[in-house]
Amino acid sequence: MRFNAWHVAVLVVLLIVLFGARKLPEIAKSIGQSFKVFKKEVSELHDDEPSPSSPSPASPPSGPASPPPAGAKDEPPGS
């Protein structure tokens, strides 16, 4: 759906009727501040992601596996 000038005009008139001319600047300011905070948080999340070339610190070490406990047997349980 494409918006044209009539759609915008009707929307502006409805907003003025619903909220009043005095409340619209406050609402616009609040929306602008919320959008600014949202953009800041998204950019911080993007900056926190590790680059693909660096190893992930959460990955387990790739060393040799530890030996089984001394009392462990190779038989399946119930035998």
pTM of the model: 0.44
Give the model's confidence band at 23: pLDDT under 50 very low, under 70 low, under 90 confident, else very high. confident
Least confident of 18-22, 43-47, 70-74: 70-74
Distance from chain centroid for Cα 1: 28
Residues constituting the chain: 79
Q: Looking at residue 49, what is its pLDDT?
A: 74
Q: Looking at residue 34, what is its pLDDT?
A: 95
Q: Which residue has the higher pLDDT, 1 or 31?
A: 31
